[in-house]
Amino acid sequence: MARNSSRYRCEWQPGRAALEAVEIAERLHPHLGRQAVIDKLVLVGLSALQHRPWVPPALFGNDRDTWRLPPDLRLADESVPEIDPQITTKRG
């Protein structure tokens, strides 16, 4: 599979429970790569936090670029918000 060079790269320092959740999700979905598992967890987590009752996002198949949030959680122009470069490049 070719890499998508238009994706944002961000640094993530998970807490112990989040890392454990990723490892469990990887075992439950061995056909997905780590980044796809993290993408799914973030999309499902946002949906679960915002919806009462919960509306699961459509995450069918293995192509992360086709996954979408429920319509009421999407940005109006379907674009990714600008990420502050200081946040993503900060080391320490």
Q: What is the pLDDT of residues 28-84, one digit of tens each?
A: 999 999 999 999 999 888 888 888 887 777 788 878 888 887 777 777 665 555 544
- Provide the whole-model pTM: 0.62
The answer to whether the CB of 43 falls within 8 A of the CB of 58 is no
Say which residue, 51 or 4, is predicted with more confidence. Answer: 51
| Cβ contacts of 75 within 8 Å, gap of 6 or more | 81
Question: What are phi and psi for residue 5, nearest 5 degrees?
Answer: -75, -5
Domain residue ranges of the chain, discontinuous segments joined by +: 16-78
Say which residue, 74 or 3, is predicted with more confidence. Answer: 74
The pLDDT score that the predictor gives to residue 86 is 47
The answer to whether the CB of 41 falls within 8 A of the CB of 22 is yes
